[in-house]
Structure 1
Amino acid sequence: MKKLLFTSLLTISMLSACTTDEEKVSEQDHTQQDHTQQEPQSNENENATTETKSEDTVSSITQAEALKTIKEQLGTELAVVMPNNLPLTKGTFLTATTTGSDKQAEVLFLESKEYIPVNDVKLKNASNATPIAKLTVKLFDSIDEASEQIAYEDYSKNGGQQVPLGYNINGYQDAGAGSLWTGWNEGRWALAARTRTDNPAAGVDLAKQAVEYLESHTLPIPHENGMVHLDVYESGNLIVWQDGKLVYTLDSIKDPMKALAIATAFNQ
């Protein structure tokens, strides 16, 4: 009877040990499976990051190539200086249409969601690309004639209400025909921010943004002068500067701060 009881207890003990071992093995298997399932997610994240970096690199390379091609396809002998880069919407590519002659070159910079070569026939369809800016470079018969194209003003001599714009720069406000201009000078440049008379603070704010931006970004050095007109309502941004007998004009730019970014890219 004792032998039988002992044998039964031994059998139960062995079965319990086997069950415990099986549970441990099962737990280990589950842990390995969970770890295995998590690994692909990590790989997917790494792949996504790599793809993003790859897209940015391709876009950057394509922009550099596009700018080189644009200059080659201007169709003019004029010594035109091009910007080194343009502020593109993320994920887009730079392209353009160009026209040129002996006395003038024109570039319409565009961005597209897919790569489109410069002057490609697809660019005739407005839905394929969005305009960024238009650059016109015109040759005049004399330096004096070129200089007449620049509406340069010394705003400190024009009077108007003085407004501090930061960095020891003062602006001068002048109103007329429903518009309020805040003008100031930096070097050989005359700059002005326009708003409506019923929204005067917006013009000062834009002028302050421009002054701060130009503390770390440099406009091209004009010979002799240049002018900047920035518009709060994105309807009349214009940047013009003289380089001897050549006059550079940037327009068709909606965002006033992008207009400054493009202009300063000529000096990088």
Structure 2
Amino acid sequence: MKKSLFALMLLSLSIISACSDEEEKPNVPNKPQEEEQQSHENQQESSKSNKENTVASITQAGALKNVKDQLNTDLPITLPKGLPITEGTLLTATTKAEANEVEIVFFESKEYLPINDIKLKQPDRATVIARLLVKQYENADEASEQIAFENFSQKGGQEVDLGSNIKGYQDAGAGSLWTGWNEGRWAVATHTRTDNPEAGVKLAKQAVQFLESHMLPIPKQHGSAQLDVYESGNLIVWQEDKLVYTLDSIKDPLKALEIATAFYH
């Protein structure tokens, strides 16, 4: 009987001691659990930061800033404020810079491709929007010689009403028909074939209407634009002192004008 009573007392003391230890021990997660939780929080923060950086870099403003950063040139180049791209696509580009010349090819892509990404060489990954070439000449006079500026009212030709109180002048030769007019320091002309004369006038009227609400960059001293009905020879060139800007590789003639007007600041 005494042995049983003694065993019962020992058991009671053990239970009381265990309960006391449990109360005194702080409720602290073990170390592996702490590290796992901290790692998860860091991953979430990193993911959030990366997402914000990606969003910033795929906007047009971000892409154009990246183009500027990649150029690594001392030439005082002006870039467009934005470019007309297809809905659902992103703006990107390739850049090439030499001592007195810079080339930028703008692309649109359905996926995010950084500036100068090697995938831009694959035609199925991105589509060319336009090519911009900026070249610096020895002096302003030499730069001016690169501009095919004409005063069409002095040159003469068959007059045509283009609307907005603007007269165009038509000149035909070698199967081509040009309709030219002047807008300030700019000489603008549309090209069609002689067997499709109305197409040239129609495009000229569309261009005049577009330029009623959009401004071409102010050249120093002149600029010229050739707009092609058949989307094969659109060319826009203007001078800024010793610099000459050339826009080409643009299929749609009205889009070529839209891109040029994006350089107006």
Sort the TM-score into its range (normalised by shorter chain). Answer: 0.7 to 0.9
Corresponding residue for 2:223?
Answer: 226
Q: Which amino acid aligns with 1:186?
A: E
User: Is 2:91 the counterpart of 1:94?
Assistant: yes
Distance 2:204 2:156 in 1: 17
TM-score using structure 2 length: 0.78
Corresponding residue for 1:7?
Answer: none
- Note the 1:178-193 alignment, pairs <5 A: 178-193=175-190
Corresponding residue for 2:243?
Answer: 246
TM-score using structure 1 length: 0.77
Asked whether the 8 Å contact 2:56–2:62 carries over to 1, the reply is: no
User: Is 2:210 the counterpart of 1:204?
Assistant: no
Q: CA RMSD for the aligned pairs?
A: 1.3
Q: Which runs of 4+ in 1 moved over 3 A?
A: 58-61
Deviation track 1:137-181 (CA, whole Å, cap 9, x = no partner) reads 000001100000001000011111000000100000000111100
Asked whether the 8 Å contact 2:58–2:90 carries over to 1, the reply is: no
Find the partner of 2:192 among 181, 190, 195. Answer: 195
Q: Counterpart of 2:204 in 1: which secondary structure?
A: helix
From the superposition, tell whether residues 202 and 122 of structure 1 become closer, same or farther in structure 2 (CA, over 3 Å). same
> What runs of 5+ residues in structure 1 fail to find an aligned partner?
1-57
User: Is 2:101 the counterpart of 1:104?
Assistant: yes
From the superposition, tell whether residues 202 and 180 of structure 1 become closer, same or farther in structure 2 (CA, over 3 Å). same
Deviation track 1:92-146 (CA, whole Å, cap 9, x = no partner) reads 0000000001200000000001110110111122221000000000000011000
- Note the 1:12-161 alignment, pairs <5 A: 62-161=59-158
Corresponding residue for 1:166?
Answer: 163
Distance 1:226 1:113 in 2: 34
Distance 2:71 2:249 in 1: 19
Q: Which amino acid aligns with 2:190?
A: A
Corresponding residue for 2:261?
Answer: 264
Asked whether the 8 Å contact 2:58–2:112 carries over to 1, the reply is: no
Distance 2:99 2:163 in 1: 44
Deviation track 1:189-222 (CA, whole Å, cap 9, x = no partner) reads 0000000100000000000000000000000000
> What runs of 5+ residues in structure 2 fail to find an aligned partner?
1-54
Distance 1:109 1:245 in 2: 24
Q: Which amino acid aligns with 1:176?
A: G
Distance 2:228 2:124 in 1: 26
Taking only the aligned residue pairs, the percentage that are identical comes to 67
